[in-house]
Amino acid sequence: MQFQWSQLVFLIAGSRSIAALQQQHIGTDDLKAKCSAFSGELQIPDATVYLSEVVAAGTNLSLPDYNVTCGNPYQIVPKEICRLSLYVATSNRSGINMEAWLPFEWTGRFLSVGNGGLAGCIGYNDIAYGSSLGFASVGANNGHNGTSGGAFYNNADVLEDFAYRSVHTGVVVGKQITEAFYGSSHKKSYYLGCSTGGRQGFKSAQDFPDDFDGIVAGAPAIAFNNLTSWSGHFYPITGPVNSSTFVPQNLWPVIHADVLERCDALDNFVDGILEDASLCNYTASNLLCGSNSNASACLTEEQVNTVNQIYAPLLASDGSLIYPRMQPGSEILASRILYGGAVFPYTTDWFRYAVYNDINWDPTKINNTDYETAARTNPFNIQTWEGDLSAVQKRGAKILHWHGQMDAIISSDNSPRYYEHVSETMGLSSADLDDFYRYFRVGGTGHCSGGDGAWAIGQNLNAFDSLAPGENILMAIVDWVENGNAPDTLIGTKWNNGTQSAGVDYKRAHCKYPLRNRFKGEGDAKDIEAWECVE
């Protein structure tokens, strides 16, 4: 399988059993009539409304202007909505394109979704998800169109939109639209995002604590400059394809098998899944070719060294940590992306267009000078590493943070690092943090979705088996915010062959940090009850 760059765009990222916050007072027919005339009536400073239209449930909506690098130019609309498309200027040389999808069966809830990578791509799939569950849902294009960071070049305002202003502007405007459309303001406000979207969720928590009552932040791209350095540091380690340091694709399944051999049993059950990858200290020394080795299943000394460097943290020249190591377990997919013998496009773009504003910067020579410059430059505080979440805590807002344990793009070792940073900064124990901030390790899960295990936790439209809060992270944050039911686990679904249509294979409860998931030692491992969260 060839990895598609367009997949990175989706690095993003309700229940009828939870009663709607308010019954709607305006009839659906009135809202439909209002929708058609809405673009002409709406008065929002700096905004130009392009269209407002009723879109019927089941419509395959054509998106002819969606940038070709963003993915499919269409979206299935699960439930009938009033669709708004608009532009909002953020400066005299920047602005966001955004959409508001307003369901006629409104729960009184507002939802903003995030973006992925460096991309400027509206998260249509996510606003389809939110609106189908009764949220008035908005998504913005992050201030530019397409997956490249080229738009940052010579325009710090576009960069500022990317760092924080696109989501915040979309929320401010989106709440005004919601109130104008329904004739009453939203009752609770939510955020859903993964990857860059996870970073945007934490940016909101850190700098715009009034924007949301509940935030779901998956696989967050926090410590963003350092992450981007780390993503770029693999190329100098592997070298180009066919160099003596390069580890070819066919050897990575062998390395993966060795990782499992060494670490799969640490959770007390051998099933190809590391429930807590942070426990696995991996080196490839066992695979060094000897005189009797199978030549297609062993590594040269240089290749062993490459693998060991991949699984070592990235350090600055003074020895301080820039970014944690890649967690073992994700190597089969990562070998096609980060270890594929090519520079990482987002790193190239970030240094060329954001850090140096120099289109001639050479990503093949990336080194500590670059890493340290990026961390120091930190455009618009994109690092997103503030440890003080007291404003969120005081408001009573809630954060659900999660990270897949076989993430091939953003190391899951970075997430507990942030959690501990918050704990230390605020002087709060895990028990204290539990009141407003909970972090979950999601075993067998790749970057935002996919993976070998029970990865479907309700993180997007194509990733849930149930809308019950215990099994659906969006409904879980709603249940926590509105009913005070804080989740202790997130139940994920593993589908047969990884495909929903093939039916459920098993479900597994993912544990709240710092607890970790462990097989009890007896019973059927596909049974949720056969596992427990332990110290």
Ligand X SMILES: *[C@@H]1O[C@H](CO)[C@@H](O)[C@H](O)[C@H]1NC(C)=O
Q: How far is CA 280 from CA 101, 260, 266, in A?
A: 44, 9, 8
Q: Give dist(CA 219, CA 194) in Å, integer.
A: 6
Lookup: tokens for 291: 């005189």
Strand partners, 215: 191, 399
What single string gives the DSSP state of each residue in 515-534?
A: -EEEE-SSS-TTSGGGEEEE
Residue 195 is a binding residue for ligand X (CB under 6 A):
no
Residue 389 is a binding residue for ligand X (CB under 6 A):
no
Q: Give dist(CA 98, CA 37) in Å, integer.
A: 19
Q: How far is CA 486 from CA 22, 398, 439, in A?
A: 22, 9, 12
The residue (of 145 and 517) whose beta carbon lies closer to ligand X is 145
**Is 15 assigned a catalytic role?**
no
Query: Nearest approach, Cβ of 207 to ligand X (angstroms)?
Result: 16
Residue 49 is a binding residue for ligand X (CB under 6 A):
no
Which is it for the CA torsion 470, 473, 474, 478, positive or negative? positive
Each residue 196-235 as x (binds ligand X by CB under 6 A) or -, in order, gives ---------------------------x--x---------
Q: Give dist(CA 513, CA 510) in Å, integer.
A: 10
**Is 524 assigned a catalytic role?**
no
Which is it for the CA torsion 389, 392, 395, 399, positive or negative? negative
SS (H, E, C) 4-20: CHHHHCCCCCCCCCCCC
Each residue 52-91 as x (binds ligand X by CB under 6 A) or -, in order, gives --------x-x--x-x-x----x-x--------------x
Q: Give dist(CA 100, CA 114) in Å, integer.
A: 13
Binding to ligand X (CB under 6 A) within 286-315 occurs at 294, 296-297
DSSP class of residue 219 equals S
| From 159-167, 364-372, 438-446, 471-479, span contacting ligand X (CB under 6 A) | 364-372
Each residue 471-500 as x (binds ligand X by CB under 6 A) or -, in order, gives --------------------------x-x-
Residue 145 is a binding residue for ligand X (CB under 6 A):
yes
The residue (of 180 and 266) whose beta carbon lies closer to ligand X is 266
Q: Give dist(CA 339, CA 341) in Å, integer.
A: 6
**Is 421 assigned a catalytic role?**
no
Q: Give dist(CA 8, CA 11) in Å, integer.
A: 5
Spot the catalytic one: 258, 267, 276, 407: 407
Cα radius of gyration (the chain): 23
> How many chain residues bind ligand X (CB under 6 A)?
42
Judged by CB under 6 A, the residue of 89, 316, 468, 533 near ligand X is 316
The residue (of 15 and 145) whose beta carbon lies closer to ligand X is 145
Residue with tokens 């596909």: 526
Residue 97 is a binding residue for ligand X (CB under 6 A):
yes
Judged by CB under 6 A, the residue of 367, 377, 462, 483 near ligand X is 367
Residues that are catalytic? 195, 407, 447
Question: Which residues in this chain contact ligand X in the complex, by CB under 6 A?
Answer: 60, 62, 65, 67, 69, 74, 76, 91-92, 97, 144-148, 150, 223, 226, 241-242, 254, 266, 279, 281, 294, 296-297, 316, 320, 322, 365, 367, 369-372, 375, 383, 385, 497, 499, 502
